[in-house]
Structure formats: C-alpha cells, structure tokens
Amino acid sequence: MQRIAELRQQVRCWRAQQLTVSFVPTMGNLHEGHLALVKAAREQGERVVASLFVNPTQFGPDEDYAAYPRSLQADCARLEALAVDTVFAPSALEIYPAGIDGHTRVDVPALSGILCGAFRPGHFTGVATVVAKLLNIVQPDVAVFGRKDYQQLLVIRAMVADLALPVQVIGVPTVREPDGLAYSSRNAYLTPSQRALAPELYRTLTALADALRAGESNFALLETRGRGALEQAGMRPDYVEIRRGADLIEPHPGDTELVVLAAVWLGNTRLIDNIEL
C-alpha cells in the first residue's frame, strides 16, 4: 500500500474484528535485524503492518539520503515470507504533502541534542516527527523498534509518553553477525577490508562493559581507553560514552543500569552500537 487512506481503511476493518495490530517502521533495505523486529511484532499482535519509508527529514544536508540503499521488491518479498499482513510504502509526498520545510515537527529536547544528536543536528527531530506521524496513521497497539538504535528507542518512548499516544513501544535486542558486528543497512557501504575491521567496535564496547562489571568506576578513563582502542583499529570515533540506561544522563559511581554507546566512522561509513549492563 502507498496511500494513507487505504491503510487506514484496512486497519479499521481489523479493528471491527477486534484484532490487535503490531507495527514495525523501517527504512527498508531489510536485514536480519529488521526481520527479528517483524517476528517480535507477530508475537505481540494478530495483524502486522511494516512500513518501508526512507525519511528525508532525519538526514542532514551532507548525509546519505540520496544514496541510502533501497530495495523495495526484495523487501516486500522478505516481509511476505514472514506473513506480514500489510506493507506500507508511501512516497515522501504522501507523508509530507505540504513539503518538508514547512511541516510540523516533533522535538524531544531532553534526548535529541546529545550523543548522536550532537553530531547529527535535527536527526532525532526528524525521527520523532515521522514516527509520530506513522503511529497516528497506523494507530497500532504495539510498535517494535531495535535496541541497537538505543538513543532512538528512548527518544520514541519519551515522545509516546509525552504525547500520551496509546501504543506500547517494544525494544528488541540487537541482532549480530557471527563476528559480533551489529546488522545495519549501512554495512553494505563497507569495503572488504573495512568489513574485516568493523567488529572491533563491538569488541571494544564489550571490553568496556566487562571492565564495568568487574567494578571499574572511572568512567572518563574507560571512555578514553575505548576511543584509543577504536582509533588504533583505524576508526574515527564521534563518541564513546558510558551513560545511565534509563535517560542517557552521565552516571554517578554506584549507578548499575548503564549503557556503553559509541559512534564511529570507518572510511565514509558511520557505525553505531551499544551494550547494556
């Protein structure tokens, strides 16, 4: 489906049958991580909607919106194989009929300007805006997101709570390749030599998490150690941070629910990952 009105009519029919609806928003170019979200959505609802939409408002002017990999036919085939009930693949005009610049925006200021938000200004406003719109279009009982995009998950949860949207947000654990690299659509940009180096991101975060579990509490020293390891491996870190898991505030000694997060450049490809404690 490409039209909002058509999708809404379908959901109304399901509601008339008192069926529960799960929703998986994606930007397409599906991989195993996305498919895990779909499988989780199937467990949560009697009908599953997945969207395929490369959202222009979450890309900066010098980012990869035009080059972002798109594979609509292959994506639809993979979703059909998982018995997704409806695939919503709208155009940018369908989502932003008045254009992008003048469109209403949703901002979550407490979470949007830190970590990835500090390096990608406006990114999380674009994410919150499109997710709010998609949730209003689909009106699901449950929406499913990946925990690899940890900051995004918290932004969406805060937005849903602040706007009192009647949807349960589910976070699904990160799916990794055998060598530990988290699945990402942007992994396709990596050259073979870069792909061989990429798992160092996960190994470095794992080492920091192990040190925290062992009782180390000098967070600044651990972050410096992590940045050094990634630089030595040939990556350019945007950040390596230890934050409180609930709200991404800088932790205090004694805090136990922590998350270790990093964003790095490997060549021209930006990779993110995290480990929750």
Residue 25's SS3 state is: strand
Which helix (H) or strand (E) covers residue 146, if one does?
strand 142-146
Give the other-Cβ count within 10 Å of 188's Cβ: 13
Q: Which of 215, 226, 231 has the alpha carbon at shortest distance from 262?
A: 226
> What tokens does 242 get?
């230890």
Q: Which residues contact 70 (CB under 8 A, 6 or more apart)?
A: 28, 29, 54
The order of strands in the sheet holding 142-146 is: 86-88, 47-52, 21-26, 142-146, 168-172
Q: Which residues contact 234 (CB under 8 A, 6 or more apart)?
A: 197, 266
**For residues 28 and 135, what is the distance between their CA atoms, to the nearest angstrom?**
17
Catalytic-residue membership of 34: yes
Question: Which entry of 31, 34, 103, 123 is annotated as an active-site residue?
Answer: 34
Give the other-Cβ count within 10 Å of 93's Cβ: 9
Q: Which residues are catalytic?
A: 34
